[in-house]
Amino acid sequence: MHEMSIAESILDIVEDEARKADSAQVTRIVLEIGQLSCVETEALSFCMDAVCRGTVAEGADVQIISIPGLARCGECQTEFEYTQRFTPCPGCGSYLVTVTGGEEMRIKELEVA
C-alpha cells in the first residue's frame, strides 16, 4: 500500500510547516488528489489517521478534494474528462491523448493553532 508512504511524506511536510509557524498543533489539512494519481483516497485517509497519531497533526481534520482527470486529444484537440487511462478520445476515437489534469497530489491548505 503506497498510500502509507505518501501519508508519511505529507506528515513530514506538515511537521516542517508547523515548525516554521512555531505551532504546536495542526488542526486542518486539505489535500488535492487527482483521480489519475493512482492514490486510493479512502486508503490515504486511513493512513493519515495512523501516521498523525502522537504528532502535531494528531486529531487534525483531514479533507481530501478529488481533482477530475482531464485530457486533450492530439488529433482533434477535443478536451474531455478522462476517467481511465488508455481510453480513446470521445470525439474522434484517437489514442493520441495527453493528460492535462488529474495527476495532482498536493497539500492545498494547512491550519495551525
Q: Model-level pTM?
A: 0.86
The CA dihedral of 20, 21, 22, 27, to the nearest 10 degrees, is -120
pLDDT at 86 (0 to 100): 92
pLDDT at 44 (0 to 100): 97
How confident is the prediction along the chain (113 residues), in pLDDT tens digits per residue? 599 999 999 999 999 999 999 999 999 999 999 999 999 999 999 999 999 999 999 999 999 999 999 999 999 999 999 999 899 999 999 999 999 999 999 999 999 98
pLDDT at 4 (0 to 100): 96
**What residue ranges define each of the domains in the chain, with the CATH number in brackets?**
3-112 (3.30.2320.80)
pLDDT at 41 (0 to 100): 95
**Integer Cα distance of 51 and 10 in angstroms:** 10
In sequence order, what are the residues at sequence separation of 6 or more whose Cβ sits closer than 8 angstroms to the Cβ of residue 85? 36, 99
Residue 5 burial (CB count, 10 A): 11
pLDDT at 1 (0 to 100): 59
